[in-house]
Amino acid sequence: MTACINKVSVLGFLGEDPKSADMQGGGTVVRLRVATTEHWTAAGGERKQATEWHSVVIYNEALGKRAMSYLRKGSAVYVEGPLRYRKYTGRDQIERTASEIVVPKFGGDLKLMDKRQDDAARQEVSGRNRAAGERSDLDDEVPF
């Protein structure tokens, strides 16, 4: 028996802020647009690049909340999940097919590749305090 695997891994940058919507059956869905760019040198020495856009749909509530809280346009993100195709009718009444990377309720993965902004701000402030000669609680002398 042969096993089949439907899994896509993408490491890229968000093209816009995450969008959240409520589903009819309850729960929320979060949508992301992730860009991946490939760079190469052409035969004549010219630098070339190609960008691909990937649609991501997150049904996992915890990962969706994390995406809405910490991801912004330009954030680096790693997404893993099955590739799904769905048909829909556009506003112009033409039937279209969309391909999406789905992060299901159970399984799939979402990793934030950027440092959290509040962590960076905290490090910046503590760095300024040390540069100004201020002591922090960690600088206290050991009593033995």
Return the percentage of the chain with pLDDT > 90, whole number.
67
Helix (H, G, I), strand (E, B) or coil at 131: helix
Burial of 116 (0-12, 13-18, 19+ CB in 10 A): exposed
Q: Is the pTM of this model over 0.85?
A: no
pLDDT band at 126 (very low <50, low <70, confident <90, very high): very low
The pairs formed by 98-103 with CB atoms below 8 angstroms and a separation of 24 or more are 98/55, 99/55, 100/55, 100/56, 100/57, 101/8, 101/10, 101/54, 101/55, 101/56, 101/57, 102/56, 102/57, 102/59, 103/56, 103/57, 103/58, 103/59, 103/60, 103/63, 103/79
In 3D space, the residue among 64, 69, 77 whose CA is nearest the CA of residue 21 turns out to be: 64
- pLDDT at position 114 is 83
Establish how many alpha carbons lie within 13 A of residue 110's alpha carbon, considering only the half-sphere containing its beta carbon. Answer: 29
Q: What domains are there in the chain, each with its CATH number?
A: 8-136 (2.40.50.140)
